[in-house]
């Protein structure tokens, strides 16, 4: 029940010619005391403009009570008390009539006699509990019974409380107050649950929308990969990418340089998720396979003709651009190679990327490169370059650290030795099938646990004897 607000009183005082106003809510006694204090100091006081108004807050709906008793006198006694205490009261002379009323207008509190002709109070309570309700209904049984077994029977039927007849008004009021507290708590809990459900529904809708956006972003990122398989005749190129989430920071790719030369690279942006993927997309433009004018690894020597820069020079240019032109906390690692398909010569530079693996025709695996610093950390970084000769049946694997740093459940990393072992096991497998099998073996190492990092790889394989040139 909403408590009635006290009157709001505003008093105007004229004290020795000075008019003052003050509020005297919620009690006028302090105002009178203040007037007397002025008079006690000998000041001339005139009280004027006394205004009183009732505040009218929005009242909560009164609690609905249903009184059920076959005695009309008993119903009237209880109902009169309840109305005086602010309840909206309905009456029913029997359990059957009470059930019909409950179906039409569900009460908040029920006070029912135990012993009635036809349906007893216990039977009515049991039927009342079986009804579908939006909110909880508090049930009090009025009875002359005090035996523990009888009380247990009433509780088992669903009664919340008992009141001994003849009814004592003070006890009735106290038990109703307890019932009201429970109903108010139940209403608050219901409202909170409604708000929680509404919030969860909104969050689920937001999550679904984000999930759809991320799925589209995943498709776009996968489209950044150039052809996943390319056959150059004397050599074949295969690309593979597995992201730890919807999108990631790994990328592998290639670009044409001339009829006999290509560029290949693998890069890994720090971090995971959307920001890393956006950085990856920007870097893909700097090594474009379709717009050579934008490719930092190429320089135009004549209109429409391009020559490669040294891979180490390209990494230095990337490092300068990231530090000077792009406002980001991300850095990245990269391995960039220029490949002469005619003679099998590979010029390679690393910027913090794992050492590329070379597997000879015999199956032996060696790791090449000098490491170097990641791109975007310090401006004074320098990058070394190495040359590798690939013969018939040899292959070069550039991969991200998500492969060698893949951990088993006991924390054991795959590392370079593990990668060499897997490559030896798969020496008869070639092309995209090799990368697919490698990723499956990586999952076996992790024992099907979710990958903690993105994994990418690019595989260059020579199948025929390179021409001398």
Report d(CA 365, CA 360) in Å as an integer. 6
104 sits in which H/E element: helix 95-104
By residue range, what is the domain housing residue 392? 226-462
Report d(CA 48, CA 13) in Å as an integer. 6
| pLDDT-derived band at 39, boundaries 50, 70, 90 | low
pTM metric for this prediction: 0.60
User: Any idea of the CA torsion for 153, 159, 177, 190, to the nearest 10 degrees?
Assistant: 150
CATH number reported for the structural domain that contains residue 181 in this entry: 3.40.50.2300
- % pLDDT > 70, the chain: 81
Question: Which of 165, 191, 217 is the endpoint of a domain?
Answer: 191
Question: Which of 191, 213, 243 is the endpoint of a domain?
Answer: 191
Per the prediction, the chain carries an average pLDDT of 84
Q: Are residues 326 and 435 in the same domain?
A: yes
Q: Are residues 265 and 162 in the same domain?
A: no
What does the pLDDT read at residue 29?
47
Q: Would residue 203 count as lying in a domain?
A: no
Q: Would residue 251 count as lying in a domain?
A: yes
Lowest mean pLDDT among 47-51, 136-140, 145-149, 419-423: 47-51
Residue with tokens 């008869």: 428
Q: Are residues 121 and 32 in the same domain?
A: no
Backbone angles phi, psi at 326, to 5 degrees: -115, 120
* pLDDT reading at 211 higher than 50: yes
Beta bridge partners of 52: 9
* pLDDT reading at 266 higher than 60: yes
| pLDDT-derived band at 273, boundaries 50, 70, 90 | confident
- Mean pLDDT within 303-329: 91
Q: Are residues 370 and 418 in the same domain?
A: yes
What does the pLDDT read at residue 9?
39
Are 256 and 244 in contact by the 8 Å Cβ rule? The answer is no
Q: Are residues 42 and 132 in the same domain?
A: no
Report d(CA 361, CA 340) in Å as an integer. 19
Angle of CA points 401, 407, 412, to nearest 5°: 115
| pLDDT-derived band at 328, boundaries 50, 70, 90 | confident
- Mean pLDDT within 370-383: 92
Report d(CA 346, CA 365) in Å as an integer. 16
CATH number reported for the structural domain that contains residue 337 in this entry: 3.60.40.10
Q: How many domains, in total, are found in the chain?
A: 3
Beta bridge partners of 162: 141
Q: Are residues 185 and 139 in the same domain?
A: yes
Contacts of 149 (CB under 8 A, 6+ apart): none
Q: Are residues 69 and 48 in the same domain?
A: no
Angle of CA points 268, 264, 430, to nearest 5°: 95
CA distances from 315 to 287, 300, 376, 402 (A): 11, 18, 10, 21
| 26 preceded by a cis bond (ω within 30 of 0) | yes
| pLDDT-derived band at 224, boundaries 50, 70, 90 | low
Q: Are residues 133 and 69 in the same domain?
A: yes
| pLDDT-derived band at 208, boundaries 50, 70, 90 | confident
């Amino acid at each position: 029940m909403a408590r009635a607000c006290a009157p709001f009183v505003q008093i105007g005082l004229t004290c020795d010619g000075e008019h003052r106003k003050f509020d005297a809510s919620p009690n006028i006694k302090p105002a009178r005391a203040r007037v007397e204090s002025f008079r006690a100091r000998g000041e001339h006081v005139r009280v004027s403009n006394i205004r009183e108004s009732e505040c009218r807050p929005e009242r909560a709906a009164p609690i609905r009570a249903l009184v059920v008793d076959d005695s009309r006198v008993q119903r009237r006694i209880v109902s009169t008390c309840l109305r005086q205490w602010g309840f909206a009261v309905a009456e029913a002379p029997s359990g059957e009539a009470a059930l019909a009323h409950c179906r039409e207008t569900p009460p908040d509190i029920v006070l029912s006699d135990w012993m009635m002709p036809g349906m007893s109070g216990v039977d009515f309570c049991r039927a009342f509990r079986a009804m579908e309700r939006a909110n909880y209904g508090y049930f009090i049984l009025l009875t002359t019974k005090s035996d523990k077994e009888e009380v247990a029977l009433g509780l088992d039927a669903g009664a919340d409380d008992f009141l001994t007849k003849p009814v004592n008004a003070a006890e009735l009021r106290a038990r109703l107050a307890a019932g009201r507290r429970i109903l108010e708590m139940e209403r608050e809990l219901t409202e909170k649950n409604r708000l929680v459900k509404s919030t969860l529904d909104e969050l689920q809708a937001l999550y679904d929308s984000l999930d759809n956006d991320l799925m589209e972003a995943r498709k776009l990122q996968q489209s950044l990969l150039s052809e996943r398989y390319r056959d150059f005749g004397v050599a074949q190129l295969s690309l593979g990418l597995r992201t730890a989430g919807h999108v990631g920071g790994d990328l592998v790719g290639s670009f044409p340089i001339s009829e006999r030369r290509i560029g290949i690279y693998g890069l890994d942006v720090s971090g995971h998720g959307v920001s890393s993927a956006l950085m990856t997309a920007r870097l893909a433009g700097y090594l474009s396979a379709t717009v050579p004018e934008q490719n930092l690894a190429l320089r135009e020597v004549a209109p429409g003709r391009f020559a490669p820069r040294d891979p180490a020079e390209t990494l230095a240019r990337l490092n300068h651009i990231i530090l000077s032109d792009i406002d980001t906390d991300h850095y990245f690692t990269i391995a960039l190679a220029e490949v002469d398909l005619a003679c099998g010569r590979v010029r390679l530079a690393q910027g913090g990327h794992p050492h590329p693996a070379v597997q000879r025709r015999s199956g032996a695996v060696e790791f090449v490169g000098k490491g170097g610093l990641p791109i975007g950390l310090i401006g004074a970084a320098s990058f070394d370059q190495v040359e590798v000769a690939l013969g018939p049946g040899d292959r070069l694997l550039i991969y991200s650290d998500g492969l060698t740093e893949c951990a088993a459940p006991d924390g054991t990393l795959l590392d370079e030795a593990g990668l060499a072992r897997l490559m030896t096991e798969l020496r008869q497998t070639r092309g995209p099938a090799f990368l697919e099998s490698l990723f499956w073996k990586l999952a076996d190492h992790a024992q099907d646990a979710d990958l903690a990092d993105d994994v990418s790889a690019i595989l260059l394989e020579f199948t025929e004897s390179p021409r001398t040139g």
